[in-house]
């Protein structure tokens, strides 16, 4: 530990070489920016694809289809699915996206039977602005997820155009479900007419089961029921469906984690190099400090604390920059109509600062050990 009276001395050592300190802090900030951004993506992937004991939703999709443009199921499957044991509710859904490829600015329309949708999602959605009555009355009305609304700058009464669909913002909603944050819910009939002028066809069915333990049996029953039909199905839990649809994106995020750790290792070398250069230029000063009674242990701790200070400043700047950008940008990775939010978590501030401190300590240990072992005579001979 360093006594508070030595803090001004450490700060003086940092500011006396402003260019070197600025470059070091900038390098740390850049690496921590990347690290926090990757961790935010990983957190979104974990939340979106990790199953929990409370999950009770299945997605029925056309077999061997992935993009919403290619999945077509007849609406008359609805009563057949509802009759299966363990099924609580079924919501047919038409999905239209303005871009089926991986993208950070995808608008996803989901056409649903309004009354059935509200009954099935009454506990999951929170209306932040607007009214459900307005959404029910207008044929082109949309309930817009808060992430999409922020990203596109949408507010109540606005009309927006995406994928050739022109919709009216009747309400803005919040939800704990990642798939509800970046979509616009509209009437099923309206979306069918606006998208391809065909009624009676949907992209998928969202099936809620009575007991989460029945997810697999109900999924097997649905696929068996339509196994020999003209339009066979593949049924998975909602999070398994997202993981399958976004498999390539999830793999890239996983690779990006290694990139983030690689950057941290590079920064460790950067800070260590800056401290080594700083220590080498102050050998004469260290000799003077020793004549004034500074012990080798104290000199070593001063050097390590200097590394911690550089890492902490850079880490704070990089972490704060990443969180502000993510919060303002409201980014969401979307592919094949499913969304993985990039979420800014305040806990990442603590994590980022903790990593920065560890980097500073790790970078300062070697030069501190070297300086603490150097005698006064050796210091003068090195000058």
pLDDT of residue 170: 92
pTM of the model: 0.71
E strand segments, 176-232: 183-187, 201-202, 204-209
Query: Tens place of pLDDT for every residue, the chain, 383 residues?
Result: 577 777 777 778 778 778 878 888 888 888 888 888 888 888 877 777 776 666 788 999 998 877 787 888 999 999 999 999 999 888 899 988 877 666 667 788 999 998 888 877 766 788 888 888 889 989 899 999 888 888 888 999 899 888 788 899 999 998 877 778 888 999 998 998 888 777 788 989 989 898 888 888 999 999 999 998 889 999 988 888 877 766 667 777 777 778 777 777 877 777 777 777 777 666 667 667 767 777 777 777 887 888 888 888 888 898 888 888 888 777 777 766 677 777 777 787 788 788 888 877 877 777 777 766 766 666 555 55
> From residue 169, how far is each of 90, 332, 363 by CA, in Å?
25, 20, 53
What is the per-residue pLDDT for 220? 92
Task: List 135's β-bridge partners, or say none.
Answer: none
* Length of the chain counted residue by residue: 383
What pLDDT score does 336 carry?
66
Half-sphere exposure of 8 (CA within 13 A, CB side): 1
Supply the pLDDT for residue 1: 59
Whole-number pLDDT of residue 238: 81
**How far, in Å, CA of 298 to CA of 3, rounded?**
10
Q: How far apart are CA 124 and CA 121, in angstroms?
A: 5
Q: What is the pLDDT of residue 196?
A: 75
Cα distance between residue 222 and residue 286, in whole Å: 77
């Amino acid at each position: 530990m360093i006594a508070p009276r030595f803090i001004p001395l450490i700060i003086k050592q940092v500011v006396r070489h402003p260019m070197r300190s600025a470059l070091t802090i900038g390098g740390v900030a850049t690496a921590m920016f990347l690290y926090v951004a990757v961790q935010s993506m990983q957190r979104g992937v974990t939340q979106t694809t990790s199953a929990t004991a409370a999950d009770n939703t299945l997605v029925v999709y056309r077999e061997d289809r992935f993009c919403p443009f290619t999945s077509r199921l007849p609406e008359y499957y609805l009563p057949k699915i509802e009759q299966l044991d363990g099924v609580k509710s079924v919501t047919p859904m038409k999905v239209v996206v303005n871009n089926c490829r991986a993208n950070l600015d995808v608008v996803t329309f989901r056409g649903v039977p309004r009354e059935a949708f509200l009954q099935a999602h009454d506990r999951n959605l929170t209306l932040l602005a607007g009214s459900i009555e307005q959404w029910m009355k207008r044929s082109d009305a949309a309930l817009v997820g808060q992430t999409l609304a922020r990203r596109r700058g949408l507010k109540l009464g606005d009309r927006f155009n995406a994928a050739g669909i022109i919709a009216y913002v009747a309400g803005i909603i919040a939800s704990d479900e990642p798939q509800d944050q970046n979509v616009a819910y509209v009437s099923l009939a309206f979306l069918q007419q606006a998208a391809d002028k065909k009624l009676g066809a949907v992209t998928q069915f969202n099936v809620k089961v009575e007991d989460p333990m029945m997810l697999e049996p109900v999924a097997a029953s649905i696929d068996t029921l339509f196994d020999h039909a003209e339009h066979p199905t593949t049924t998975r839990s909602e999070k398994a469906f997202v993981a399958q649809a976004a498999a390539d994106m999830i793999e890239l995020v996983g690779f990006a984690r290694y990139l983030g750790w690689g950057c941290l290792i590079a920064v460790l070398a950067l800070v260590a190099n800056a401290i080594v250069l700083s220590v080498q230029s102050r050998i004469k000063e260290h000799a003077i400090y020793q004549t004034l009674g500074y012990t080798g242990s104290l000199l070593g701790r001063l050097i390590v604390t200097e590394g911690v200070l550089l890492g902490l400043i850079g880490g704070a700047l990089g972490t704060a920059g990443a969180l502000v950008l993510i919060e303002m940008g409201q980014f969401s990775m979307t592919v094949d109509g499913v969304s993985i939010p990039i979420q800014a978590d305040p806990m990442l501030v603590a994590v980022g600062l903790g990593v920065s401190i560890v980097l500073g300590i790790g970078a300062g240990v070697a030069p501190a050990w070297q300086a603490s072992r150097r005698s006064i005579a050796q210091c003068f001979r090195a000058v």
